Structure 1
Amino acid sequence: MPAPDHGPPDWVLTRRRAIGDRIRAARRAARLSQERLAERAGMDRQALNRIEQGHSAPRIDTLIRIADALDVPLSSLV
């Protein structure tokens, strides 16, 4: 019988929040609202908010779209 899933370890959550912080900082530096960045990245504003807050683990495709919408290298976000 498989062990119950207790979610990701704390260190993963910490790094997820750090990615969200970098996305938020880049968005603010570009003077974009969450709504505008979400539009540019082809996603929902609430989904972007969950990523910035570290509550959601974005797929790599989503991170690529966010980086492209911000005109920054993906590596600067992750």
Structure 2
Amino acid sequence: MLVNRVRDYRKGLKMTQEELASRAGVSRQTIISVEKNKFVPGLDVALKISDSLNTPINKLFYFV
């Protein structure tokens, strides 16, 4: 199972979904879908999100 901690890290930084989307260069709907586990981002989008959160990708997405 893929664990997704984007929401936890975003909220920890007191960042809105809109701010994260803008920084990552994706739509707010993409961030919403990722956070709700309705969309598994490709490596390119996952890297943009992790860079925008200044968090290693393996802390945001991992398998258990």
The TM-score, its normalising length taken from structure 2, stands at: 0.90
2:33 to 50, 63, 69: 50
Query: Residue 75 of structure 1: CA displacement?
Result: 1.0
Higher alpha-carbon Rg? 1
Count of residue correspondences: 61
The percent of aligned pairs where both chains have the same amino acid is: 33
2:16 to 33, 39, 50: 33
Please, which runs of 5 or more residues in structure 2 have no aligned partner? none
Query: Residue 27 of structure 1: CA displacement?
Result: 0.1
Partner Cα separation in structure 2 for residue 35 and residue 50 of structure 1: 13
Instruction: Point out 4+ residue stretches in structure 1 off by more than 2 angstroms.
Output: none
State the superposition RMSD in angstroms: 0.9
The TM-score, its normalising length taken from structure 1, stands at: 0.74
Amino acid aligned to 1:28: K
Please, which runs of 5 or more residues in structure 1 have no aligned partner? 1-10
Greater RCO structure (CA 8 Å; 6+ sep): 2
Of Structure 1 and Structure 2, the greater strand share is in 2
- 2:45 aligned partner: 62
Of Structure 1 and Structure 2, the greater helix share is in 1
